[in-house]
Amino acid sequence: MQPYATPIERVWFYAFRVICGLVLLYLVLPILVIVPLSFNSSSFLTYPLSGFSMRWYEEFFGSHEWMMALKNSLIVAPSATVLATCFGTLAAVGLTRGEFPGKALVMAILISPMVVPIVIVAVGLYFFFADIGLLNTYAGLILAHAALGVPFVIITVTATLQGYNTNLSRAAASLGAPPLTVFFKVVLPLILPGVVSGALFAFATSFDEVVVTLFLASPTQRTLPQQMFGGIRENISPTIACVATIMIVLSVLMLLTMEWLRRRNEKLRGAG
C-alpha cells in the first residue's frame, strides 16, 4: 500500500483482506474441525472434547480391516498413477505437437471422465469389465482409476508444454539426437514439474475415489475411502475421524508439493 493512499482506500485495503480471511476460514474450518475429534477420548463424534487420547489411531493401525483397506489403496493408487502419468503425458505431447482432423474431439473424449457424472462412468465400466473378465480384479480397478486420472495429467502437462521452447528440440535433433533421446534428455526434464503435478492430481483422484470402487471391487479389495463410506453407513466411529485426519495431512503435503513445483516451473520459464 502506498503511503499517500486516502483514508477510504486504506479502509478498503484492510476490509478486502478481512473478507478474504473470513472466506478462507469458512472454506477451511469444516475440514479442520474433524482433526481434534480424532484425538477425542469419547466414543462419539461430538464437541466439547472429553479428553485427549490416541486410542483411535491405535485402533486404526491395529485393525485388520483398516490395514487391509490401506494396503489396497496403496496398491491401486500408485499403480493407477503410474499408468495415468505415462498415458496422459504421451497424449498431451501428441495433442500439443500434432495437427490432425478431429483434434478437439479427441481432446474432449480424453478429458470426458472429468465431465461425465462419476456414477455413469462407474456403470459403464462395470458392464464393460464384466464382459472382458476384469470385474473384481486389481487390474480392472487400477485401469479404471488410471482412466479417471489421465485427464488431470493431460491438462497439467499441456499447460506446461504451452511455455516450452520448441527450438530446443530442433537444436537437439539437428545435432543428431533421435526422437526418444530428445524427449527424455530435453523435453521431459523441462516439463517435469507439470508431469509431477499431474501425477499428484491422479494419485489424489485414485486415493479418494469411492463410487467406481463400489461397482468394481470385491469385498477383499475394499479401499480406504470405501471402508470409510461403509463405516459411516454402518457404525460411526471416531476411527473415521482418525483416517480423515491422515488423509487431510496427505492432501496438504501434496498441495505444498504442487506449489513448490509451480514456483520451480516459473523459475525455469524465467531462466529460459
Domain ranges for the chain, please list them.
55-271
Q: Which among 252, 238, 253, 243 is positioned nearest to 223, based on CA atoms?
A: 243
Least confident span in 16-20, 88-92, 190-194, 260-264: 260-264
pTM of this prediction? 0.80
pLDDT at 159 exceeding the cut of 60: yes
**CATH assignment of 55-271, given 1.10.3720.10, 3.20.20.70, 1.10.287.3510, 3.40.980.10?**
1.10.3720.10
pLDDT at 181: 85
Q: How far is CA 64 from CA 58, 60, 61, 69, in A?
A: 12, 9, 8, 9
pLDDT at 95 exceeding the cut of 50: yes
Mean pLDDT, rounded, for 44-68: 83
Where b means 16+ CB within 10 Å and e means fewer, 198-212 reads: bbbbbbbbbbebbbb
Higher pLDDT, residue 190 or 84: 84
Q: How confident is the model at residue 1 (pLDDT cuts 50, 70, 90)?
A: very low
Residues 175-226: pLDDT tens digits? 888 888 888 888 888 888 888 888 988 998 998 888 999 899 888 888 888 8
pLDDT at 150 exceeding the cut of 90: yes
- Residue 32: in which H helix or E strand, if any? helix 7-32
CB-CB neighbours of 143 under 10 Å: 18
Mean pLDDT, rounded, for 89-111: 84
